[in-house]
């Protein structure tokens, strides 16, 4: 299905952060990440906000709670590599219900996770699939990856990449993020992730996109320092697996 960007594109920029960036990365192999979701939040007469997300069940996408913004209707584009063209195998599905974590704090970004229940189940194909959630804590030094359709340049007011970009990042020690109070880092609920060589800028992926380690989702892109420096903070998914399972169990079809 064709997703036409005939409106101003506004990426959510949480206070003290830079969201929607893939700096120092490369274009992903088309459809190599079938779980990726391009999330569009409609704003009547004011364009749209956009985030990333990932499919964990045929009818559920996970994204960041700060993407909610109390705006209008939300749709997700699944199976896309280039969101600007009509690609074979893509599916656009409207969101029936948004479920931000009840204890999400928009100032500190604690519990920055939201579930999107889709109106219709996605058809699982070669280009659309789910990703499992890790229930174990990821170890310091683990090399993971993140992908998104964010900007590819540190220049301000640049357009997002129409094609999916990806980059490898390293899970860092908590001291790295604790030394930067602007990050609002809480070790038990967040991951400190970045490039040890400090060659790559902070938000290496759209807000809401998954940090993937050994084929499982370990984190959600949350916030960064805002000065194009590494590291960045990701929601620690293993902390929320129980909440996700309990919430899904209660969802009405």
> Could you tell me where the DSSP H helices lie in 95-240?
174-178
Active-site residue, 66 included: yes
Q: Could you say which of 112, 161, 232, 238 is catalytic?
A: 112
Q: Can you tell me the distance from the alpha carbon of 44 to that of 46, in angstroms, rounded to the nearest whole number?
A: 5
Give me the catalytic one of 17, 75, 161, 207: 207
CA-to-CA distance for 24 and 30, rounded, in angstroms? 18
Question: Is 65 in a helix, a strand, or coil?
Answer: helix
3-state secondary structure of 64: coil
**Given the residues 66, 101, 184, 223, the one annotated as active site:** 66
Of the chain, the end-to-end C-alpha distance in Å amounts to 25
Per DSSP (E only), the strands in 158-205 are 165-171, 190-194
Residues ≥6 apart with Cβ < 8 Å to 227: none
Residue 112 appears among annotated catalytic residues: yes
The verdict on whether omega for the bond into residue 194 sits within 30 degrees of 0, i.e. cis, is no
Q: Tell me the catalytic residues.
A: 66, 112, 207
């Amino acid at each position: 299905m064709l997703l036409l960007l005939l409106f101003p594109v506004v990426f959510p920029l949480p206070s003290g952060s830079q969201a929607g960036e893939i700096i120092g990365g490369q274009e992903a192999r088309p459809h190599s990440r079938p779980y990726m979701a391009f999330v569009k939040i409609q704003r009547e007469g004011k364009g749209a906000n956009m985030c990333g997300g990932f499919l964990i069940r045929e009818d559920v996408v996970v994204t960041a709670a700060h993407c909610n913004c109390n705006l209008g209707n939300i749709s997700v584009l699944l199976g896309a590599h280039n969101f600007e063209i009509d690609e074979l195998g893509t599916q656009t599905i409207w969101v029936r219900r948004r479920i931000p974590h009840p204890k999400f704090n928009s100032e500190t970004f604690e519990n920055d996770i939201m579930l999107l229940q889709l109106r219709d189940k996605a058809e699982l194909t070669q280009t659309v699939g789910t990703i499992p959630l890790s229930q174990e804590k990821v170890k310091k030094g683990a090399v993971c990856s993140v992908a998104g359709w964010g900007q590819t340049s540190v220049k301000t007011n640049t357009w997002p990449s129409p094609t999916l970009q990806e980059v490898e990042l390293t899970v860092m020690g908590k001291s790295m993020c604790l030394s930067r109070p602007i990050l609002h880092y809480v070790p038990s609920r967040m991951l400190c992730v970045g490039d040890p060589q400090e060659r790559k800028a902070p938000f290496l992926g759209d807000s809401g996109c998954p940090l993937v380690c050994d084929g499982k989702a370990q984190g959600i892109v949350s916030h960064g320092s805002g000065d194009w420096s590494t590291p960045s903070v990701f929601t620690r998914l293993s902390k929320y697996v129980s909440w996700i399972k309990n919430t899904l169990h209660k969802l009405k079809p």
